[in-house]
Structure 1
């Protein structure tokens, strides 16, 4: 496990050694206990769940999944939670180190982060238990036409508030806690938006940290892609991570810059358009398209906002996004700077909306195409 101080939290734990017996699939009736982290009856904890608890809560994994993910909304210990399945190394981790690392992660609490409650490690899979957050993910809010009971983000103030919420959450992870973490999975589908206040939270916190991917604190850490599998979502991965496997806070900064571009345009990070003349698919990247923004901002910004936004605020967010997705990580800002800048933009946007409401409800900006 990759953690600065594995002895910070001392909690006794025992590991049951692997047993030579037939193993059932975790998708069927039960989970196996061999090669998993377990507690004796006198060592029960709020952080570690048992195989029987996970199996019962998910109805032996026959309960409906949340979207297309390997995650289930269920009830554990009387609380509504989300249980998500993640790949896990075949080798059993050091029990004390795992417990200490899990304890640190479960202490992370922020208004912009869906909290980690606990976990269960079993063979080649780990099951993470997070708080349940009602809402829809940002990707659906921006692009789905079939949202039931959830409003498409048609107002600028909602979008900039979402951006500010996530920036503050990442600032907290990078700068404001003793053990500083890289989230690594920042993307629009990993952000939950709640109504009616349209506040946003990061999900999947702790997933890569507990599955033996490295996190950083202070110093940059680099891994070679030839020896460590590179995992991530196309369009959000920073160039240095793709080529060298480097995981630093600048990885989150880059991905957040892509999310800002999604908030501005409503488009996917990467999409493919079929060219009939050449009979090929052409890749359209939001990051690569930044070079054409100045040719027509109004045509570039999401039309569902009906040109109703403060132009100076939109232009400022474009520039913030531009520096966040710089190909050189050294030229990207830190998240504290990004958060502070977006807070200023949010204040300006709130003032603009208030002024527009006082002007007979007219909120249309005369933005030149």
Structure 2
């Protein structure tokens, strides 16, 4: 179901006759950069002549060989061209309006910070996000950032296809991935006792995928640049249909929307007195303490949010909730970070009772305890005490392999793909759940 995780798990080019996961090579032909009247950017193309480096005199007497060579070379060049990523698009705003039926089509999602539409744009199924620009951006800067972001390729990142600008809003066009967000996989209000991620190895795969993708976005091996995500939360992780691999949404959003400050701006401390200058946006429970105080977005804020997501993944509980205190009549704040710290203080026994009960106690306790400690290190209040994502990704990858070895030793399947379609009855279980219950009963008998 999942291979060994690496921080540079980059999607390799495929030949034209290979079978891709969800696209055909013919749909990957590069296109020129499209510009609107307000965003004019010259496009360039390079053509390659197959026989430009060959002596024509040599082939005068070898026409059959030349024809064969030319045909083969054309096929090779065509296959390489088809496997190359598409050039980033600057879409006309009219194209965005047409695809969304002037924004009257059903919204894919909506929040206080953004709205999105699932639609077809130039023959592709995409998700268009509308976000407000935090800072104005020059065309040259936009084109440069867009080209770098669109050159980034990782199996755990949902690809950005292009953008469009209109007034104070930016429209980001992402490829559509069939699946559901991680929150819905873990917590189904209609059936709280059921979860698609019913095995320990499936949750470790999710953790390794997220760590690998976030590590790549922070370091972008080969691109000599780095990005801050600023939107890591449980609803920003998509669990793909079938493979149950995790993919991170909104890659590049913070850079293109002006949410990340430059080095000069970061050197000036933004305190409470300047809170009216910059509106602090974030999701309660995932915002690092320094982000709430200064409003400055850094990679250590991503590390903090990642730690919260991992604690949710392990426990199945919400990052932050408020319960009614029957004695006082008020509300009691319950944080997954606080409960995890209490569990870790109790050692293996505390962690064992804290882990999601729907796993039926079928997991390696030593690995679970180490995972909790890694996540708690990520949510340290002092950002200087938090590790970098390359270190975290290495630790999670090792614990994932330890989990696979544990599963192999007790004979649990690690490569089953299942459906994440909604369940209509609490009595309906998928193949993985049935196998899990059977193995758990066998362990009890032994």
TM value normalised by structure 1: 0.82
Q: 2:236 aligns with which of 186, 190, 203?
A: 190
How far off is 1:135 after superposition? 0.4
Residues 229 and 92 from structure 1, CA distance in 2 versus in 1: closer, same or farther, beyond 3 angstroms?
A: closer
Is 1:179 aligned to residue 225 of structure 2? Answer: yes
Please give the secondary structure, in 2, of the residue aligned with 1:119: strand
Correspondence for 2:118:
73
How far off is 1:179 after superposition? 1.3
Q: 1:47 aligns with which of 82, 86, 89?
A: 89
Q: How does 1:117-266 map to 2 (within 5 A)?
A: 117-146=161-190, 152-175=196-219, 176=221, 177-214=223-260, 224-225=270-271, 226=274, 227-266=277-316
Contact 1:253/1:334 (CA < 8 Å) preserved in 2? yes
**Alignment partners' CA distance in 1, 2:160 and 2:337:** 31
User: Which segments of 5 or more consecutive residues in structure 2 lack a partner in the other structure?
Assistant: 1-31, 46-86, 414-434
Residues 120 and 43 from structure 1, CA distance in 2 versus in 1: closer, same or farther, beyond 3 angstroms?
A: farther
Task: Name the count of aligned residue pairs.
Answer: 333
Q: 2:378 aligns with which of 313, 317, 324?
A: 324
**Alignment partners' CA distance in 1, 2:338 and 2:107:** 35
Contact 1:13/1:96 (CA < 8 Å) preserved in 2? no
Is 1:337 aligned to residue 391 of structure 2? Answer: yes
**Alignment partners' CA distance in 1, 2:92 and 2:311:** 42
TM value normalised by structure 2: 0.68
Is 1:298 aligned to residue 339 of structure 2? Answer: no
**Alignment partners' CA distance in 1, 2:412 and 2:353:** 28
Contact 2:34/2:92 (CA < 8 Å) preserved in 1? no
Is 1:107 aligned to residue 151 of structure 2? Answer: yes
Please give the secondary structure, in 1, of the residue aligned with 2:103: coil
How far off is 1:15 after superposition? 8.5
**Alignment partners' CA distance in 2, 1:301 and 1:222:** 42
Kindly provide the CA deviation profile for residues 21-58 of structure 1, in whole angstroms up to 9, marking residues without a partner as x.
xxxxxxxxxxxxxxxx4338989985111121101111
The structure with the largest alpha-carbon Rg is 2
Residues 71 and 15 from structure 1, CA distance in 2 versus in 1: closer, same or farther, beyond 3 angstroms?
A: closer
How far off is 1:208 after superposition? 1.8
Is 1:276 aligned to residue 277 of structure 2? Answer: no
**Alignment partners' CA distance in 2, 1:331 and 1:114:** 30
How far off is 1:363 after superposition? 4.5
Please give the secondary structure, in 2, of the residue aligned with 1:183: coil
Contact 1:353/1:363 (CA < 8 Å) preserved in 2? no
User: Which segments of 5 or more consecutive residues in structure 1 lack a partner in the other structure?
Assistant: 1-10, 17-36
Please give the secondary structure, in 1, of the residue aligned with 2:107: coil
Q: Give structure 1 regions of 4+ aligned residues with deviation exceeding 4 angstroms.
A: 11-16, 40-46, 219-223, 358-361, 363-367
**Alignment partners' CA distance in 2, 1:238 and 1:95:** 32
How far off is 1:306 after superposition? 1.1
Q: Which moved more, 1:337-346 or 1:92-101?
A: 92-101
How far off is 1:13 after superposition? 10
Please give the secondary structure, in 1, of the residue aligned with 2:89: coil
Residues 291 and 46 from structure 1, CA distance in 2 versus in 1: closer, same or farther, beyond 3 angstroms?
A: closer
Correspondence for 2:416:
none
